Amino acid sequence: MPVVYKTYKTKCVIQEDIVKEPELIGKNLHLAIDSGCWYFIFKSCPPWFHPTKKGKNNQDVEETDEEFKKRQDAFKWKREYFGEAVSKKMSLNEIAQLMADDEEKYFFLISRLCHGYDRYQTDEKPVSLNYSERVANLQKLKAWFKYDKNICDILIVKENEYCPVCNQQHMDISNIGNWIINN
């Protein structure tokens, strides 16, 4: 995560040194929400197209035929398992909208992307991902925030009014982040 925190600190206007003290993210609610929202907007999933073999003219390390075959198989597995979500470069938010009907695969993909996804990996839920702990923590967050996926997706409802579709009050949190990008 230090690379992500370094990028976040460089791109956003924050005073705290989260690179030297990453535990600040866990102690400061504003930083936790702001950095998380920033991450989901600016982090993207690489498209896993049909790969070409890495050769001497390529900047990447040269691959053996066996490595290339393994990478082809891994890319194919990812395309088949995650479908359209890995067909082009998209932010994690765009992927969330695309995979809204398959929450389990979406959560796994996001966990995998945040943790790191080696180009040769095809494993579904490796032990190193601590996937069961991530799922348990997600359930705790859903309970805490009273998450209900069945609430409608109307985006604009006047403040202090109830939505005509789901009879709930929607909160507009679109202006909470302070992602002031430095040039």
Instruction: For residue 14, give the nearest of 183, 130, 182 by alpha carbon.
Output: 182
Q: What is the pLDDT of residue 35?
A: 83
Rounded to two decimals, the pTM is: 0.65
Three state DSSP letters for 58-101: CCCCCCCHHHHHHHHHHHHHHHHHHHHHHCCCEEHHHHHHHCCC
Report helix angle 29-42 to 2-11, nearest 10. 90
Place of tokens 């409608």: 152
Q: What is the DSSP letter of 16?
A: S
Helices and strands in the chain, H and E counts: 7, 2
CA distances from 56 to 60, 167, 174 (A): 8, 62, 47
| pLDDT tens for the 183 residues of the chain, in order | 556 777 777 777 677 888 888 888 888 888 888 888 888 888 888 777 777 776 555 556 678 889 889 888 988 888 888 888 888 888 888 888 888 888 888 888 888 887 777 777 776 666 677 888 888 888 887 777 766 666 566 555 566 777 777 777 666 555 544 444 433
Please give the pLDDT value at position 180.
42
pLDDT of residue 182: 39
Q: What is the pLDDT of residue 59?
A: 53
